[in-house]
A and B are shown apart, each in its own frame.
Chain A
Amino acid sequence: MDVSNCVLDFSRLSLNTLSLDGVSEDRRRDTKQFYLNYNRLSTLPASISLFYNLEFLDISNNGLTAICDDITRLTKLKTLLAKNNRLDEFSLPKDFGSLPLEVLNFSGNRFEEIPLQCTKLRRLQSLSIGGNRLKSIPTEIEDLTSLEMLYLGGNLISAIPPEVANLPYLSYLVLCDNRIQSVPPFSVTIAQILSLVHLQELSLRGNPLVVRFVKEMTYNPPSLLELAGRTVKSRNIPYSPCELPSNLVLYLDLASKCPNPKCAGVYFDSCVRHIKFVDFCGKYRLPLMHYLCSPECRSPCSSNPQSDAESEDENSVPADRLQRVLLG
């Protein structure tokens, strides 16, 4: 099969309707990528469903006010790009959530809410609704369990729901140019979001934040149990199940080693998240997965921002433990 039959390029043709008379049955079956961007369509016509093997559809830069119900018949559709149209939350079919979409881009439209149908896209990995009129993020966002990339820059969002922190694979979260303020629940939510293991980039620029919010993160001093546990572990005092109750043995076995290479200490629950701000690619890097056993402990990333040895020290922290947070 000729590979070029997979791609149908109808972009930039000033089309106001979609006539498929010139498209053979074979072509309709074989087309996997269809470019309809930069035309003058005001609705997505039902005939799109004739491309029943379609995987990629680009309808960006038209004047679309609605997407037809028939789109749900594209049972193999993985990517839908619909940037720069006139869509809002009433434009989508009821069963839009049934599509097997992995990438969805609605940037540059008129959405005031993220429609609930979008939160039902279980396979969605990348969602972009930048440059719209979103006032909030629905709590149902947590249903997008495959989501890795969430771009919501350039909206009117005033708060981040804690449910965002329940997205297990979220790697890239953009909330720049919104209306987010750092009122009390904010720092808790951010702390939860920053605990996401996969998160690497978080952009909060252009929001009316009080930038020093992270200084609110408090250090809870260790309990007596913890102090005893630390002593046992750091002095290598032997212990065994015949000497100690099983819950204490379990507790001692869960000790985590302090990442400071010069510190042989351990910690249990009480630890300091070391936070360092370095401007990098316009983003501040936050080694938040970097726990220290006490505030006096020095991290492998120097806690003194004036240290010139910064860049060398950073190399000792594995890249996957660093997170980049972009602040205002």
Chain B
Amino acid sequence: MEQTELVKPETLDELIKTLHQIFQSDRINVEEVQNLMESYESKPHEWRKYAKFDQYRYTRNLVDEGNDKFNLMILCWGEGHGSSIHDHTNSHCFMKLLQGHLKETLFQWPDGKSQGDMVTKSQRVLQENKVAYINDSIGLHRVENVSHTECAVSLHLYSPPFETCQTFDQRTGHKNTVKMTFWSKHGERTPFETTVSQENN
């Protein structure tokens, strides 16, 4: 298994190029991807065109389709915006803070028998430029911008790409499959046909 020597990407485009190289291989070295993404220092002018906010909920803005090996997207979180508790459909998920802060709460998978509130495992606030990693074997999470005054922007990489995931009711553990949608692709707003059960994940 080859490991690409870590050269710090100076720009977002360089990061994307290096990601394409790494993901040519079928095996992913989680630490390598995490270090690479963390070493890119966020420069707002490089990603500003993808950072489209919605007043009422967070948005997913596709940046790169990764040769179908991964999807790279930018999520924009207004004040108080948060996600549901969700899984990652057997994929790797990397999340880097480009601006602001996000709170990540980890949950245990609900087991078939238990009713009542889902169990929290841990909670942390991610700082700018840091990268968090999760997959289904680690657990489920909820991500929120808890600031009432600042928005947050995060860069997400999912491999392999996925279009649906499960969302969970914190108070009962019941799950729901939802289709995920993009607010924009490659910097262009992409309105879709209205569906009710959609999650901007």
Chain A positions near chain B (C-beta within 8 angstroms): 83-84, 107-108, 126, 128, 130-131, 149, 151, 153-154, 171-172, 174, 176-177, 200-201, 203, 211, 277-284, 305-306, 310-311, 314-315, 317, 319, 322
Are B56 and A130 in touch, CB under 8 angstroms? no
Are B176 and A131 in touch, CB under 8 angstroms? no
- For the complex of A and B, the 8 pairs showing the least CB-CB separation, nearest first, are A130-B148, A131-B148, A108-B149, A282-B82, A154-B148, A279-B169, A107-B149, A311-B197
CB distance from B117 to the nearest CB of A (A): 10
Q: Which of B129-181 contact A (CB under 8 A)?
A: 142, 144, 146-149, 167-172, 174, 176-178
- Can you name 16 A-B residue pairings with CB atoms under 8 Å? A107-B79, A107-B149, A130-B79, A131-B148, A201-B57, A277-B171, A278-B176, A279-B168, A279-B171, A281-B58, A282-B83, A311-B178, A314-B197, A315-B195, A315-B196, A322-B196
CB distance from A239 to the nearest CB of B (A): 38
Interface: B85 (CB within 8 A): yes
Interface: B67 (CB within 8 A): no
CB distance from A313 to the nearest CB of B (A): 10
Are B55 and A176 in touch, CB under 8 angstroms? no
- The prevalent SS among residues of B at the interface is loop
Q: Which of B17-43 contact A (CB under 8 A)?
A: none
Are B196 and A314 in touch, CB under 8 angstroms? yes
A107–B200 CA distance with the chains assembled, in angstroms: 25
Are A280 and B84 in touch, CB under 8 angstroms? yes
Are A174 and B199 in touch, CB under 8 angstroms? no
CB distance from A146 to the nearest CB of B (A): 15
Interface: B187 (CB within 8 A): no
Are B80 and A172 in touch, CB under 8 angstroms? no
Are A281 and B148 in touch, CB under 8 angstroms? no
7 new A-B contacts at CB < 8 Å, known A203-B80, A279-B85, A281-B200: A107-B148, A131-B148, A280-B178, A281-B58, A282-B83, A305-B169, A311-B197
A3–B158 CA distance with the chains assembled, in angstroms: 40
A24–B183 CA distance with the chains assembled, in angstroms: 40
Are A130 and B176 in touch, CB under 8 angstroms? no
B residues near A282, Cβ cutoff 8 Å: 82-84, 142, 144
Are B79 and A153 in touch, CB under 8 angstroms? yes
Interface: B194 (CB within 8 A): yes
Are B80 and A176 in touch, CB under 8 angstroms? yes
Specify the chain A residue showing the minimal Cβ separation from B85. Answer: A279
A residues near B194, Cβ cutoff 8 Å: 319
CB distance from A108 to the nearest CB of B (A): 4
B residues near A83, Cβ cutoff 8 Å: 149
B residues near A126, Cβ cutoff 8 Å: 55
Are B55 and A130 in touch, CB under 8 angstroms? no
Are B174 and A306 in touch, CB under 8 angstroms? yes
Given A280-B84, A280-B167, A305-B172, A311 contacting B177 (CB threshold 8 A): yes
Are B79 and A279 in touch, CB under 8 angstroms? no
A107–B151 CA distance with the chains assembled, in angstroms: 12
Are B169 and A278 in touch, CB under 8 angstroms? yes
Q: Which of B54-71 contact A (CB under 8 A)?
A: 55-58
A residues near B84, Cβ cutoff 8 Å: 279-283
A83–B178 CA distance with the chains assembled, in angstroms: 35
A200–B55 CA distance with the chains assembled, in angstroms: 12
B residues near A278, Cβ cutoff 8 Å: 169, 176
Are A177 and B148 in touch, CB under 8 angstroms? yes
